[in-house]
Structure 1
């Protein structure tokens, strides 16, 4: 049995774990930039997160292909779940694959938690800012103030009588 596809799968999962660790670091810098109101650093962090998300997507697609190769190597259905395939893997690689799988799963959960926390932090800051603006400028009537300046709400639509 050729173990290449199994090692490729393990390496892929390890690469994904590394990228998720990098995402956690960038998220921390992003949060710090928000606190400092450093717009350039915020934009840089957003760009880095976008690049990392492309890498995650690429690695995830590769992982699916490696799983298909593993299923073919084991003469199993491609639709079998990951853990079922791993239980059928040769004993030499099985433990490494299980460890890599749980590291990946743990990293995904950590990233989801950080994103949820960051989103709640941003929403909290946004709500407080809106309340402050509403109190200080009670006559603004719904205008939004952004870094470049004031932007009013969309004006209400109106009907044009074309029969005139």
Structure 2
């Protein structure tokens, strides 16, 4: 009886380990994560890193490419570079909305609001800020929520 119970526990732990490993999202390149953290405090450095990574990112998967584009928008926004087009943010939004991605979608909506504010379309900007608030209801990212409200 003990051997059967031990075998069941062993098999169950292997199955659970397999499930956890299989469900884990692929992490982003460390350089991209560093550029994201720099984008708030030192956006010029983040832009330099992102520019240097541009060719390498083209070989990455779609998830990493979209995160890269989002960080580029974020860094340019923090560096007070005026957005002149909505094409990049529309691609990012389409990707995150289709994936149902809850981690980056509120931030993508926030930056969509920032883009449309720069383009002079205040009603569209307000719509995106509201969407950002709606999808961040369960979020613990209080810095982002406070930026949305401001």
TM-score by length of 1: 0.30
By relative contact order (CA 8 Å, sep 6+), the higher-ranking structure is 1
TM-score by length of 2: 0.33
